[in-house]
């Protein structure tokens, strides 16, 4: 499944240009601060983060009378029911995790809690089965009644002679495009992988214990302290463990490092590819008519409110075949990451963009009317 390193740039590049041009990274102009630019110009320059639904930028656009009335009715009737149902689902899974961790000592790794990633036997089985079922229930609460899935994982088995070693190799990580916090709920309902989360998540009520039970690795996003290499090493070790041990949970990684509006694919970071193990690419799309579930330029509270006020939300998922890296890709994680990214762009009809988290912050600062220098100097991991 690996893309040949010598031919990948030309062959895949031409395919991608057929879908759409690669978005160029904008250069902020000193003469015309972004805060003073027209909204249309901002949306053009920072296209991967621009909202194009009925609610407009930051969810504050003018609504028609019909849409406003629909939202008001949903807020009065549907929202309270969904909030109560969501809390009940969350509490139910917390209780499952509490029971499964009774008399089990929490693991520690390098001073950071590794949680309960090594649960075995009935404890692990209970966490996984209940977690998948309750995550699907939570998606139902959020209005995702039907999820359309396209499974292409085994298409290479026809007409292609995969080596026996490749057929037996298990991917160590799931790599997915990142559109919304709903992405995590879907992946939990599908395979309940471990993932990287902010360190503060471990201290949250209810969610903290759940994240430890599914084996999250906790990081301080804005920190550039000495534990950075430790986190990278922990992720690599976990991927290798999942690759080699059938009962070990796979890692879920979003190589883009931030969310987009779902039409673009940002540059991939190499963390998911350092372990030299095969990866499972997954593409998520959120078709919509009025409200986009993409979490791009809207604050969290407003986004959750509007999402819960939608009578129906839609999600489409494409499972690509496991990507087996070539020897050259194993030795060059950047090449490995780039080739997987190009493949996902072609298969998902996504537009490649050079933007990243720093540009997203510039865009948000401009939408909020803030000055740019501070945002320009805030860099992501």
pLDDT tens digit string along 3-50? Answer: 444 444 433 333 333 444 455 555 544 434 444 457 788 888 999 999
What is the DSSP annotation of 151-216?
E-TTGGGSSS---HHHHHPPPSEEEE----THHHHHHHHHT--EEEEEGGGGGSTTHHHHHHHTTP
More confident residue, 117 or 239: 239
Which helix (H) or strand (E) segment holds residue 339: the answer is: helix 333-348
Reported as a pLDDT band with limits 50, 70 and 90, residue 375 is very low
pTM tops 0.85, yes or no: no
pLDDT at 222: 54
Reported as a pLDDT band with limits 50, 70 and 90, residue 224 is low
58-115 per-position pLDDT tens digit: 888 888 899 999 999 999 999 999 999 999 999 999 999 999 999 988 876 544 446 7
Assigned domain for 282 exists: yes
Strands of the sheet containing 315-319, edge to edge, are 147-151, 315-319, 279-285, 173-176, 251-253, 194-198, 217-219
Residues pairing with 107 in the sheet: 115
Which helix (H) or strand (E) segment holds residue 89: the answer is: helix 79-100
Assigned domain for 3 exists: no
Assigned domain for 311 exists: yes
CB-hemisphere CA count at 13 Å for 166? 17
147-204 per-position pLDDT tens digit: 999 998 775 544 444 444 454 578 999 999 999 999 999 999 999 999 988 888 888 9
pLDDT at 88: 98
Residue whose entry in the numeric block shows the structure tokens 């995790």: 97
CB-hemisphere CA count at 13 Å for 80? 4
pLDDT at 234: 84
Query: How many of the other CB atoms lie within 10 Å of CB of 224?
Result: 9
pLDDT at 146: 96
Assigned domain for 181 exists: yes
Assigned domain for 381 exists: no
Query: How many of the other CB atoms lie within 10 Å of CB of 71?
Result: 21
Q: How many domains does the chain have?
A: 1
Q: Which domain holds residue 151?
A: 8-23+34-59+74-376
Assigned domain for 120 exists: yes
113-131 per-position pLDDT tens digit: 467 778 889 999 999 999 9
245-262 per-position pLDDT tens digit: 888 889 999 999 999 999
pLDDT at 267: 97
Assigned domain for 368 exists: yes
Residues pairing with 194 in the sheet: 251
pLDDT at 110: 47
- Measured CA to CA in angstroms, residue 379 lies from 206, 222, 224, 289, 375 at distances of 31, 8, 10, 34, 8
Assigned domain for 251 exists: yes
């Amino acid at each position: 499944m690996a893309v040949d390193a010598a031919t990948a740039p030309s062959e895949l590049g031409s395919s991608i240009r057929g879908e759409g041009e690669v978005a160029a990274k904008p250069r902020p102009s000193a003469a015309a601060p972004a805060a003073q630019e027209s909204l249309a110009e901002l949306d053009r320059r920072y296209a991967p983060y621009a909202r194009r639904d009925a609610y407009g930028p930051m969810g504050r656009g003018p609504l028609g009378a019909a849409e406003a009335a629909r939202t008001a009715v949903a807020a009065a009737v549907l929202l309270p029911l969904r909030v109560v149902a969501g809390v009940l689902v969350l509490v139910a899974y917390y209780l499952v995790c509490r029971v499964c961790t009774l008399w089990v000592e929490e693991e520690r790794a390098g001073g950071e809690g590794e949680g309960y990633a090594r649960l075995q036997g009935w404890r692990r089985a209970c966490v996984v089965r209940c977690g998948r079922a309750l995550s699907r229930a939570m998606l139902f609460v959020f209005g995702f009644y039907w999820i359309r899935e396209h499974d292409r994982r085994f298409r290479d088995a026809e007409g292609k002679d995969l080596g026996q070693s490749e057929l037996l190799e298990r991917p160590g990580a799931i790599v997915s495009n990142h559109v919304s916090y709903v992405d995590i709920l879907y992946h939990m309902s599908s395979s309940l992988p471990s993932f990287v989360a902010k360190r503060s998540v471990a201290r949250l009520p209810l969610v903290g214990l759940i994240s430890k039970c599914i084996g999250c690795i906790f990081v301080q996003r804005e920190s550039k302290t000495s534990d950075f290499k430790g986190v990278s090493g922990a992720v690599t070790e976990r991927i290798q463990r999942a690759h080699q041990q059938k009962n070990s949970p796979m890692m879920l990684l979003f190589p883009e490092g931030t969310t987009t509006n779902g039409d673009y694919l940002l540059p991939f970071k190499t963390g998911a590819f350092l372990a030299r193990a095969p990866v499972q690419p997954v593409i998520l799309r959120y078709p919509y008519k009025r409200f986009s579930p993409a979490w791009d330029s809207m604050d969290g509270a407003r986004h959750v409110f509007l999402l819960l006020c939608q009578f129906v939300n839609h999600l489409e998922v494409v499972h690509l075949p496991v990507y087996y890296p070539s020897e050259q890709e194993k030795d060059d994680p950047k090449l490995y990451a780039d080739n997987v990214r190009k493949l996902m762009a072609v298969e998902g009809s996504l537009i490649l963009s050079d933007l990243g988290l720093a540009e997203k912050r510039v865009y948000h600062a401009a939408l909020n009317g803030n000055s740019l220098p501070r945002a320009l100097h805030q860099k992501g991991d």
